[in-house]
Structure 1
Amino acid sequence: MEVQVLAINPGSTSTKIAWYRGDEEAWRVTLSHCVEEIAAFPCVVEQFPFRLRVIEQAVVEEGGDLDALQAVVGRGGIVDPIPGGTYAVDELLLSHLRRGKPWEHASNLGGILAAAIAFPRKIPAYIVDPVAVDELDAVARITGLPELPKHSLGHALNIKATVRRAAKDLGRDWRKMNVVVAHLGGGISICTHKAGRMVDLNNANEFGPFSPERSGGVPAGDLVRLCFSGNHTMQDLRKKIAGAGGVVGYLGTSDLREVRRRIAEGDGKARLVYETMAYQVAKDIGAYAVPLEGEVEAILLTGGVAHDGEFVRLVTEQVQWIAPVLVYPGEDEMRALVEGALRVLRGEEPCLRYGEMVAAS
């Protein structure tokens, strides 16, 4: 009998769920939540009962039976820094997912919801490669201001899954591969993945290329002056950096299809912004190749923007001298979550314990 696993991926205004029988997806749905409904909750963790009811109702509507599951896996959120892998949800991990520090994130609900479904049925609940995965080398943490070290916050789930897929395609052991991964989405994470570890990467909200919605690295002195100009609140500026920066800041849209349409109509500004984003991505790929000391086996382009063939072409032309470029468009987070759970259930890798890995890191 095939193992049945439910995957849960909470977003700011939606909850995605998917039911798998072994490696095959049976169904998936995206449960949209109206902004007003979500805004009525004072904090993210208090959305839990509401989202659980919606999930349970959707499973019934899809003809599923929660009692038939062998495991539940949720998106991992912002907890204390830990290495990548599949983690059993236990009381310590739950308490850290609930606390919402250093800030709240909808993905923290993934493990909480998984546990709520799994524990009464005496089956395991997992999270996989959470946002807080930290495998940085010591030299990657220092920024130039002792008060402001670099924190490892990136698209770890998709980065790790993409490395595994590339390794399978190349007939290699992913734990021995040296690659640079560029996750190209609303935010952009570029990562040096060396022998199974994410040894350096940009925090997409604070460093690196600008993206469709985020400013990337900006001039520090000018940013300080902007902060103290008296014209902006902290909330205004945080929004400019993550949400209203990058392409949307210059062009009023984060939709690259719209940008491409404007370019086709002769919009020179749209072309400059589009090409500059590709240039910045390529430049950072070059920078993140440095820790591999010339032994770069491949450059992997993934995320939603990797569906844009012209953008991929612009980046590839600028970096293919470093290593072959492989493209894995999109980010199938649901499959990546289930694959992580299945590897543990099948004994292909150990189930990690949050408390042990925090203490060891």
Structure 2
Amino acid sequence: MNIFVINSGSSSLKYQLFRLPAEQPLCSGLVERIGLAEPRITHKVFAGGEEQVIRQSPTQLPDHRAGLQAVLQLLTDATLGVIANPADIEVVGHRVVHGGETFAATTVINPAVKAEIKRLFSLAPLHNPANYLGIEVAEQVFPQAKQVAVFDTAFHQTLPEQAYRYALPEALYRQHGIRVYGFHGTSHKYVAAQAAAYLGNPDARLVTIHLGNGCSMAAVRGGRSLDTTMGFGPLAGLVMGTRSGDLDPSILFHLIEHLGYSPPEASNLLNKQSGMLGLTGYSDMRDIGRALDEGDERARLAYELYAYRIKKYIGAYAAVLGGLDALVFTAGVGENDPLTRRLACQGVEFLGVRLDEEQNQLRNGQLREINAADAAVKVLVVPTNEELEIAQQCYQLLADSY
């Protein structure tokens, strides 16, 4: 089954094409700066164990439809193409960030599903409109394909009520849906399944730690999410690249009432000017790591604060799970930053966590253990693959009908 996975952003389009059940993509790519000056396309084709990269700089890509049409030309290219025509795409899988309480599973898209995604725009104003646009464009470019939505929030729909409810008047939940939804669910689901399979324990008690520009953690047992750090929106929990993570809500009132911030300005501050950027002037951990090597005290504090928040949630989630079988680090920082992993694991040795520092320093792009050989708790680095997870969920949903 040819499954084309799309992650549509406001000015970008990320994609991979899989021929399931094979897990290796036929091609992948990224269209950037759609509707802006100097758009770029990076397209990779995987054939015979080799990777060929095509880079294009179109004079203009006025909208997402133009971007997807440019991708289609690459997919069907006479020399490097991987399909003959658009009809070869049987399924288009879409990442949709917010599914509210409506969508707890992968769903075939129809007019009612689209209407519900649209209704949820206010809960994910930066993401759901772009995801919706990707659906509409794909329906035009691949009209014969089944369109399928995979929701980032769906994995966390298994949270118990005491974990997803806030201590607010009940009407705010019943009438307005104010509750914990959680995000990065596709990544947490994928790495939790990989870790449980590696451990040979389907009931494994796992803390999955997704550290990229956005960061979140989840308490997972038996493949079910029991708690997660992000909440009603993606601002809560860990310190992130530009987001503050957890803070005292009274800070917001102080900003607005005493420092003259408008609500939009306060939102911009907490979402786009805080986190590691606010602490150091950099949002990328590689830049912060270089600053740390140069003796920058702000970088030192930022690393310690970042890891301290992770450590607090490790302890909290070990309590939620009633014990711990493995910590699972994933995503760009989680997979590639040994210092973050070391700092996050220091001080939780009482839980059975002990790193092998030599293993922690290695990078091989594969699932691997970085714990000491005799440690009671495994510490795993598991590369995430959200696009493959989306493709596999589409395949599982539709395989019986093909």
Same structural fold, with TM-score higher than 0.5 when normalized by the shorter chain = yes
Deviations 1:298-324 (A, max 9, x none): 121112111111111211334454332
2:208/2:218 contact within 8 Å kept = yes
Deviations 1:55-87 (A, max 9, x none): 122121232422112211111232332464322
1:190/1:288 contact within 8 Å kept = no
* Number of residues of Structure 1 aligned to a counterpart in Structure 2: 329
| Structure 2: distance between partners of 1:200 and 1:293 | 13
Does 2:74 correspond to 1:61? yes
Provide the residue aligned with 1:246 in structure 2. Answer: 275
Provide the residue aligned with 1:14 in structure 2. Answer: 12
Residue 237 of structure 2: SS of its match in structure 1?
A: coil
Moved more, 249-258 or 185-194: 185-194
Residue type of the alignment partner of 2:256: C
Residue type of the alignment partner of 1:102: L
Residue 201 of structure 2: SS of its match in structure 1?
A: coil
Provide the residue aligned with 1:196 in structure 2. Answer: 223
Deviations 1:87-141 (A, max 9, x none): 21122111122342334222344444444455x31x4221224335522211113
Does 2:386 correspond to 1:333? yes
Provide the residue aligned with 2:185 in structure 1. Answer: 156
CA, structure 1 residues 254+86, in 2 after alignment: closer, same or farther (shift >3 Å)? same
| Structure 2: distance between partners of 1:182 and 1:244 | 23
Give the C-alpha shift of residue 156 in structure 1: 0.6
Does 2:299 correspond to 1:270? yes
- Correspondent of 1:297 among 313, 316, 325: 325
| Structure 1: distance between partners of 2:261 and 2:235 | 18
Indicate the structure whose relative CO is greater, using CA pairs within 8 Å and at least 6 residues apart: 1
Residue 5 of structure 1: SS of its match in structure 2?
A: strand
| Structure 2: distance between partners of 1:115 and 1:320 | 52
| Structure 2: distance between partners of 1:298 and 1:114 | 39
Provide the residue aligned with 1:107 in structure 2. Answer: 131
| Structure 2: distance between partners of 1:35 and 1:270 | 36
**Gapped regions of structure 2 (runs ≥ 5):** 38-61, 77-82, 352-376
Give the C-alpha shift of residue 196 in structure 1: 2.8
CA, structure 1 residues 4+212, in 2 after alignment: closer, same or farther (shift >3 Å)? same
TM-score, normalized by length of structure 1?
0.83
Residue 271 of structure 1: SS of its match in structure 2?
A: helix
Residues 339-350 of structure 1 aligned to structure 2 (within 5 Å): 339-347=392-400
CA, structure 1 residues 243+103, in 2 after alignment: closer, same or farther (shift >3 Å)? same
Give the C-alpha shift of residue 273 in structure 1: 1.0
Residue 345 of structure 2: SS of its match in structure 1?
A: helix
Cα root mean square deviation, aligned: 2.4
1:8/1:17 contact within 8 Å kept = yes
Does 2:152 correspond to 1:139? no
| Structure 1: distance between partners of 2:149 and 2:341 | 31
Give the C-alpha shift of residue 260 in structure 1: 1.0
- Correspondent of 1:52 among 41, 65, 82: 65
Residue 6 of structure 1: SS of its match in structure 2?
A: strand
TM-score, normalized by length of structure 2?
0.75
Identical-residue share of aligned pairs (%): 26
2:152/2:185 contact within 8 Å kept = yes
Provide the residue aligned with 1:71 in structure 2. Answer: 91
Does 2:148 correspond to 1:126? yes
1:73/1:125 contact within 8 Å kept = yes
| Structure 1: distance between partners of 2:96 and 2:34 | 23
Please say which structure displays the higher CA radius of gyration.
2
| Structure 2: distance between partners of 1:14 and 1:151 | 28
Residue 134 of structure 1: SS of its match in structure 2?
A: helix
Moved more, 21-30 or 137-146: 137-146
- Correspondent of 1:280 among 284, 309, 316: 309
Provide the residue aligned with 2:115 in structure 1. Answer: 95
Give the C-alpha shift of residue 193 in structure 1: 1.5
Give the C-alpha shift of residue 142 in structure 1: 3.4
